[in-house]
Structure formats: C-alpha cells, structure tokens
Chain A
Amino acid sequence: MYQARYLLYIGNFKISETIIVQWIIMLALIAVALFMTRGLKKNPDTKRQLLLEWFVGGIKGYTTEMMGTKFVSRVPSIVPYVGTIFLFFILSNLAGLFGFKSPTTDLDTTVAWASITIATMYVMGVKFKGPSYFKEFIEPTPVMLPLNIVGEIARPISLSFRPFGNILGGTIIMGLVYQLNAFLSSLIPNLKIPIGQIAFPVPLHLYFDIFAGSLQAFIFMTLTLVFIGNAAETE
C-alpha cells in the first residue's frame, strides 16, 4: 500500500518514484548551490552571500564543537559531507509539503544514508587508531564479543528506522486526516468540493512535516558526528 510505485520503464530496468523525487531534490540543491555561489566577494554586501556564510559558518561551528578542532583539521571534508546530508535529509522530509512522495517513507533511502555514516565511522576509526580499533570488540573480556557485534549491528538499524518510522507514521496519519475530512465534507448536501481539506490540516502539517522532519534531520546529523567522533577519538 505504501510501497513506492515504478514510474519509468527503460527496457527491463524499472525506476521507482523515490529515485525520481530524489533526483528532483538533487537538481534543486545543485541549482541553489550554483545560484548562491555566483559572484562571491571578500566583503559580503549582498543578502545572498550573508545567508550563505551564516549557514556554512553554522554547520562548520557545530561540527567543530562536536568533533574538536583536531579532527576537523585532519579530515576537512567532514564539514561539506555533514552539510550536504543535512540539506538532503531536510528537503526529503519536506517533500511531502510539495505533493511529492517523501523519499524518507522508503526504507531504502534511510538505509543508504545510515550505511554511509557507518562506513565512514569504520574508515575513520581505522585511520585514526590503526587496526587496534577492532580490539575494542574484545574489551573488557573476549566473552563480550557477541554482544558487541550485536550492538554494532543494532546501530545502523536504529539510525535508519528512526527517520523512516517517524516520517512514514506522519504520512499515514495525514492521509487518514484527509480521508476523514473528505468524508465529513461529503455529508454536506449539494457540495462536490471536499471543503474540509482546505485549512484544517495545516497545524498537523506544521508538526508532522516541518517540526518532525527538521528534528529528524538534526538528530541524524548529530548522531553521525557522535559516532564518527567516538570512533576517531584517541586518548
């Protein structure tokens, strides 16, 4: 029922709705990036550049605050990665407002993002600590090895199911509310327009789409930083 539909058929190759909405989001992000970075000056005088510097400075400051200056100076590409995934996530969660099917309601999307984070975590752990990073699995005793492995498996599952469940639950509740409003409007005689759908769902959209979506994006960013920082911290 809530499975993504296949929209494009290229021979035997099927492309689902999730991928198409993601392409639209990516194109929008690229267009906005190209528009915002035209004609940058050393002393900003346009509102555009001030907004851009505020956003980039905010992401960079938050990353530095979470990870420490040592990590950011050694792996400077963490700041663009975190900013990109935050923007992509928040636009995916807000896609429901524009009438698209949000890509976050598909488990594949969130599993992909969580996989990127977990792979980055292992790579950074090995890069900063060497092979002794995997020695943490047999601490304090080798008896704990199965429990530690279960904990490692549970981490991407929890990271991917949290936004998926939150956004999917909101989408389902919104669909039920719209159906209820259409039914209530149909009780009024001689009225063909479902008039109850006009203004009543707006507060619910405020909570389910904007507040929950922004919160999930922020939490995903924070947890990514926390996991990578824990893997890479050296005493």
Chain B
Amino acid sequence: MELSTAIAVAGTAIGSGLAVMTGIGAGIGQGYAAGRAAEAVANQPEAKSDIISTMILGQAVAESSAIYGLVIAIILIFVNPWIKM
C-alpha cells in the first residue's frame, strides 16, 4: 500500500468515527422528549396512548439525524469513492 492510500484510509476511518458521533445529539433529543412525555403522562394519565404515539413519532424524526451520520459512515467504509481497491 502506498503512503497516499494509507493516509486516505486513515482519514476515512477517522471521518466515519466522527460521522457516527451525530448519535450524541439524537440521543439527547430523544431523552428530552421521553422526559417531557413522562411529565405529560403524570399530569394526564388518561391521555397516555396519544402521548406515547406522539412521543414515538417525534423521537423517530429526531433519530433521522443519527441515521444520516450512520449512512455517511457506511458509505465511507463500504463504498468509498476515493479509495480504488
């Protein structure tokens, strides 16, 4: 392996690791949504099913940011456009 290819592989690996770190933000957002949903259920126990379905929907939309990072990492590892193996 030439030095340039080695540097490219190293950079790809570092970039994949950084891309998956989008999960930090998604996790914080989902936890915040779950906490608010717990408060809402405590206030109105009879509206539990609506609250839970709304919470799940919002969490799944919030998770999409983490999924974008995962897709970028998968692309960098499996179908890397810069490294011609």
Contact = CB atoms under 8 A, between A and B. Distances in A.
A216 B68 contact: no
Nearest to B59: A215
A176 to B, nearest CB: 12
Given A219-B60, A222-B57, A169 B78 contact: no
A1 B64 contact: no
Given A219-B60, A219-B61, A1 B79 contact: yes
Chain B interface, >50% SS class:
helix
A158 B57 contact: no
Interface residues on A, range: 10 to 19
25 contacts: A1-B78, A1-B79, A2-B74, A3-B79, A158-B64, A161-B64, A161-B67, A161-B68, A161-B71, A162-B60, A162-B64, A164-B71, A165-B67, A165-B70, A165-B71, A166-B63, A168-B74, A169-B70, A172-B74, A215-B56, A215-B60, A218-B57, A219-B57, A219-B61, A222-B57
Interface of A: 1-3, 158, 161-162, 164-166, 168-169, 172, 215-216, 218-219, 222-223
Interface of B: 56-57, 60-61, 63-64, 67-68, 70-71, 74, 78-79
